[in-house]
Amino acid sequence: MADKISDLDLQGIVEAEVRNSLSFVGSDLSQQRAENLEYYLGEPFGNEQDGRSTVVSTDVADTIEWILPQLIRIFASGDETVSFEPTGPEDVEIAAQATDYVNLIWDKDNEGFLNYYTWFKDALLSKNGVIKVYWDEREKVKKERYEELSDEQFAELVAPDDVEVLEHTEREMEVIDPLAGVPLMVSVHDVVLNRSSMEGRVKVDPVPPEEFLIDRDARDIQTARFVAHRRRRTLADLIESGYELKDIEDLSGDELSGGYDNEEDIARDTVEDDAEGQSLGNKMMRTLWVVEAYLKIDVEGEGKAEMRQITAAGSGSKILKNEAWEGPVPFCSLTPIIMPHRFFGRAIADLIKDLQLIKSTILRQYLDNLYIQNNAREQVDADRLIEPGEALSTVPGQKIRVKNLGAGGPAIMPIPVSDIGSQALTGLEYIDKVREQRTGVSERTQGLQADTLHDTFGGEQILMTAALAKIELIARVFAETGVRDAFRQILFLITQYQDQERVVRLRSDWVPMDPANWNPEMDVTVSVGLGTGDKQQQMTMGMQLMAMQKEALANGFAEPKHLLETAEIIVSSMGFKGVDRFFSSEEEIMQRQQGQQQQSPEMMKMQAELQMDQAKMQADQQGKQAELMLKREQMQAELTLKREQLAAELELKREQLAAEIQLKRETAAMGAISKGGLTGGVHMGGEPG
């Protein structure tokens, strides 16, 4: 088993790690980042010539300042940057609370917008942007004043350990005995005190790139052997952080710096003269180099390396704190262009520095050409001059007096200068096209090209989508790396250190948040608007989606909560925050439904009786309708039968009448025949006489 590492040996290890990281960061990397900053600021290149143009193109600044608003809009325009996904059915409600609370911590407890701005700008300019997400617990002191306290009240008030008495006056005061009604003299206390309490919050601080150290073999922060935050701090800062003056007052601030005030410190004007604090005679304002390091090391000699949080300061890296560290290292990094298997990526400034130099060179030559054409140099016959000073003057329109101007030709002849204007402008257009191919930034995507007004909508959308693809890729990289890590770190910190319930305001309601029992391993989803077009397109698509959802709601394929989510997208795309200002929340809808369901027993009984009465009335009505229908059918059948009987009787009578008529006819015919036969027998054989 190895021996335990002493503090002296640990000081040497920490200092070696710091110097190793400083030599890595302070070499080409620091030079490149300092150069990026100089290009961003439009500083001269150092190759300027007297009497020539010194103009500097600002392509680096222009490109970064155009990309940055797009990224800020993607991440900061909505109410929720990230959401937490439940790992089981028991985490559904907790995930919703965690989403609200963590976003509130980022936006309200910390300067969410400014943190995004600084973090993203560092990444675009200096390869990697770094923020520190940590639990900050500080003593909060409240001054209180009390008067005319009794002995018991005073003793009870000053008894707690967190109370410090600043002023105390004991005096006699006349009071009236409530029982006897006579005046009495009693002792009362007037006191002024400080009541202290520890208050913890999650803090998010951007870290300047030159202050962040990491071992040169690292590929990411969480698996790195050594990660540190190195910066200058005053003695007053260290004492406020809890260190004793006797442990730090004799430390020197020079040795740990090791001469590594690199180009970045100089470019940012952050190099401090430690003698300044001494010259002011203020000992507490003297600065020291302080390193807050996270180092994997086997301090106890047990054969197993563990993560340690080590704070070292001043001469020889004196160890001020050495504690075991659990959980993730409190730094989160992002880079716009990932270089596989490396920690440091590439900045947008790296892509276009050479273009800025080339463009500046072309601009200078173009302007020099214009200057010379407008103020052309001339050949002068010195022997024929009256005033040589006039010939050497560069004042436009300056007249030069000569003798014998006509004898032997002119005494002054202009030197011809070629016009390179068209070639220079063509070159500048080419450089802008190369910049567009590298970064996606162009006149079209900036909305500055008038010709785009004449393009078709479809063609314009294709061009815009292609141009913005690079910016969307950067946003996706940011979302899946540093932003996800930062919000996961916030969730871990509140579940680990917040030991009291905190009441916060969410959507106009005060909601208690107690993350002690939350699951810190919940999945994180970064909700950024990628691939959904601009705000107008998002609103149009949201309206179309809501129309589809309304139809689906009528057919049972959607629920009101789906429409509410779409309404939130539409409200956000309109530029408003807080969908609850315009629509009822899902909780309010559920509460209203539950309120409708949760009624008194008497009301439920009355509703049941009413429903029974309605059912009975409906049954009676249906019975009466059936009986009426039956009677109607019976009457119809009887009527039909009577009609048939009447028709039959009429037919029978018609037949009887016809038979009777026929019979009468036959009878009459027979009678006529009989009568005719008798008369003919009397006159038979001769005429009647």
In this structure, what are the phi and psi dihedrals at residue 193, rounded to the nearest 5 degrees?
A: -140, 160
Per-residue pLDDT at 280: 43
Q: Which of 32, 86, 177 is nearest to 491 (CA)?
A: 86
Report CA Rg, the chain.
50
- Percentage of the chain exceeding pLDDT 70: 77
For the chain, report the end-to-end CA distance as a whole number of angstroms: 187
Per-residue pLDDT at 198: 80
Strands 226-234 and 183-207: unpaired
Distance between CA atoms of 488 and 585, rounded to whole angstroms?
Answer: 26
Please report, as a single letter, which amino acid is at residue 515: P
- What's the average model confidence in pLDDT over 386-405? 63
Helices (H), 86-148: 92-104, 112-126
Distance between CA atoms of 623 and 552, rounded to whole angstroms?
Answer: 40
In this predicted structure, the answer to whether residue 87 has a pLDDT above a threshold of 90 is no
In this structure, how many other beta carbons lie within 10 angstroms of the beta carbon of residue 25?
Answer: 23
In this predicted structure, the answer to whether residue 459 has a pLDDT above a threshold of 70 is no
Helix, strand, coil distribution of the chain in percent, nearest 5: 50, 20, 30
Summarised one tens digit per residue, pLDDT across range 550-594 is 888 777 777 777 777 788 777 776 766 666 667 776 666 666 666
Per-residue pLDDT at 521: 84
In this predicted structure, the answer to whether residue 212 has a pLDDT above a threshold of 90 is yes
Residue 156 belongs to what H/E stretch? helix 151-158
Contact 211, 260 (CB under 8 A): no
Considering only 32-41, 312-321, 439-448, 470-479, which range has the smallest mean pLDDT?
439-448
pTM score: 0.70
Three-class DSSP category at 525: strand
Residue bearing the bigger pLDDT, 394 or 36: 36
Per-residue pLDDT at 228: 94
What residues contact 77, with CB distance under 8 A and at least 6 apart?
Answer: 529, 572
| β-bridge partners, 183 | 176
What residues contact 125, with CB distance under 8 A and at least 6 apart?
Answer: 33, 36, 37, 40, 60, 64, 347, 348, 349
Residue ranges of E strands in 235-325: 287-297, 306-313, 318-324
Contact 135, 328 (CB under 8 A): no
In this structure, how many other beta carbons lie within 10 angstroms of the beta carbon of residue 417?
Answer: 16
In this predicted structure, the answer to whether residue 261 has a pLDDT above a threshold of 80 is no
Per-residue pLDDT at 631: 83
- What's the average model confidence in pLDDT over 311-338? 89
Residue 433 belongs to what H/E stretch? helix 421-439
- Taking each helix axis from N to C end, the angle separating 59-76 and 457-478, rounded to the nearest 10 degrees, works out to 80
Structure-token pair, residue 428: 């500048």
Three-class DSSP category at 560: helix
Q: Which of 496, 500, 535, 534 is nearest to 514 (CA)?
A: 500
Mean pLDDT, the chain, integer: 80
